[in-house]
Amino acid sequence: MFNKRIYYISGFDPRGARFYHRLFREEAKKSTTLSGAEIDTGRRKVLDKLITQWQVDSVWDGKSYITDYRFMTWDDVMKRYWISNVWILILKSIPMFFNHIKIRLFPKFKKAGRGPYFCSIYPLVFGSLSLLISALVGSLIYILVFWVFSQVWLATFLSLLSGYFLVRYAVRLGESLNVWWILQTYFFISQWSENPLPELEERMRQFAERIIQDQAENPLDEIILVGHCVGSMLAVEVMANIANLKHNGLVGKLSVLTLGQCIPYLSYAPKAAHFRKSLQQFANNKRFHWFDMGAKADPLCFQEVNPALAEGITLEDKNVPYRFIVRPYNMFSAEKYNALKKNKLRMHFQYLMAADIKTDYDYFEIVTGPFAKIQTYKKL
């Protein structure tokens, strides 16, 4: 029945399948204005704890495709590491930042890409500046009130009150600027870099077994595992598991596509040898192709470096993965692009969204049309 099967792994985002199904449906519909294709996104259906599925019927250049789109659920695992209280998140992150300064992790990020480097220190800089401004304003109010009224208690009270409201405002501002989402993600990766996470490892093993099982029960000629953001790291782990299992039905059928990958956040950490082992195992496999697409405009993506390379990794083929450039600045008018790029999270999601101007990148053509289209993209 199906022509192709897509497995999608999201980043560190607890919004889950409901959000991503709506995003796919709305953006796929918008994309048809430029592509001329017909794309009909079916209803979301929960198959089990691992998979939420929806069918996509499409027509590209007169040829019909039926896509089995499978959202791989891990937000239940994610929520175990998600810290809902911002203050607890900040307090727990302080020793992490001190440790990353000590082990000189930030210079590695800076060398790999300005955007990811600034994102790694973004919460630290934002928090430090917020506290500094609050302290300076509070001190100024104390001096002014004491100078006018000569009352220590009044000056102290108003000083503390102003500091309190400024800090509360900074927390709300940080929410709107995605500071805390970035910090949540960065803190999670930091925990993962220190030691393997048992729940996560188990879920990646289950994903690998499910991909093999699905192909055995309903074999298709075209299967794509898509990993976005942190999902690119998870895709590596899934593929390392597949490499260790019996997977003959997948050879020549399964490809991996990473979008907006931030793999060096994990692979560059000194203690992340467990992940680098998986990365090397997948990168050096001869049976599955790895395509990586990144945009320099995406501040979270290490687009300038090979995601398969890190200290201690020996890469047999320097052309792995096949790397391609995504150019969001060509997708919109200059005015609209300049407005969009101010939102870091929005740029990071452009891989999954429609454009205003047709370019050589179209996510919906890749996942619902002829995958061979990817071979024509501009390679790094």
- Chain-centroid distance of CA 193 in Å reads 16
**289 and 141 in a common domain:** no
**21 and 123 in a common domain:** no
- The pLDDT assigned to 376 comes to 52
120 - beta bridge partners? none
- Read off the amino acid at residue 142: Y
Residue 334, domain CATH: 3.40.50
- Gap between the Cα atoms of 192 and 197, Å rounded: 6
Range of the domain at 143: 86-188
Is residue 195 included in any domain, yes or no? Answer: no
**308 and 232 in a common domain:** yes
Q: Are 307 and 292 in contact (CB under 8 A)?
A: yes
Quote the tokens at residue 237.
């782990």
pTM: 0.94
Q: Are 16 and 231 in contact (CB under 8 A)?
A: no
Number of Cβ within a 10 Å radius of residue 318:
8
**148 and 62 in a common domain:** no
Is residue 356 included in any domain, yes or no? Answer: yes
Is residue 194 included in any domain, yes or no? Answer: no
- The pLDDT assigned to 124 comes to 95
Picking from 166, 188, 210, the residue at the C-terminal end of a domain is 188
**335 and 247 in a common domain:** yes
291 - beta bridge partners? 257, 322
Note the pLDDT tens digit of each residue in 63-112: 999 999 999 999 999 999 999 999 999 999 999 999 999 999 999 999 99
Picking from 140, 162, 188, the residue at the C-terminal end of a domain is 188
Is residue 170 included in any domain, yes or no? Answer: yes
Residue whose entry in the numeric block shows the structure tokens 């990144």:
294
**238 and 107 in a common domain:** no
Is residue 278 included in any domain, yes or no? Answer: yes
Nearest Cα to Cα of residue 68 among 173, 196, 225, 197: 225
Picking from 136, 164, 188, the residue at the C-terminal end of a domain is 188
pLDDT in tens, the chain (380 residues): 568 999 999 999 999 999 999 999 999 999 999 999 999 999 999 999 999 999 999 999 899 999 999 999 999 999 999 999 999 999 999 999 999 999 999 999 999 999 999 999 999 999 999 999 999 999 999 999 888 888 889 889 999 999 889 999 999 999 999 999 999 999 999 999 999 999 999 999 999 999 999 999 999 989 999 999 999 999 999 999 999 898 889 998 999 999 999 999 999 999 999 999 999 999 999 899 999 999 999 999 999 999 999 999 999 998 899 999 999 999 999 999 999 988 888 899 999 999 999 998 999 999 999 865 555 554 54
Is residue 210 included in any domain, yes or no? Answer: yes
**343 and 214 in a common domain:** yes
Nearest Cα to Cα of residue 295 among 337, 247, 256, 266: 337
Q: What is the mean pLDDT of the chain?
A: 93
Query: Which 3-state string (H, E, C) describes 206-239?
Result: HHHHHHHHHHHHCCCCCEEEEEECHHHHHHHHHH
Is residue 167 included in any domain, yes or no? Answer: yes
Is residue 50 included in any domain, yes or no? Answer: yes
Burial letters for 143-169: b for 16+ Cβ neighbours within 10 Å, e otherwise?
eebbeeeeeeeebeebbeebbeebbee
Backbone phi, then psi, for 82, in 5-degree steps?
-80, 125
**107 and 64 in a common domain:** no
Residue whose entry in the numeric block shows the structure tokens 């000056």:
155
**What is the number of structural domains in the chain?**
2
Contacts of 162 (CB under 8 A, 6+ apart): 134, 137, 138, 141
**246 and 118 in a common domain:** no
**227 and 183 in a common domain:** no
**64 and 92 in a common domain:** no
**249 and 229 in a common domain:** yes
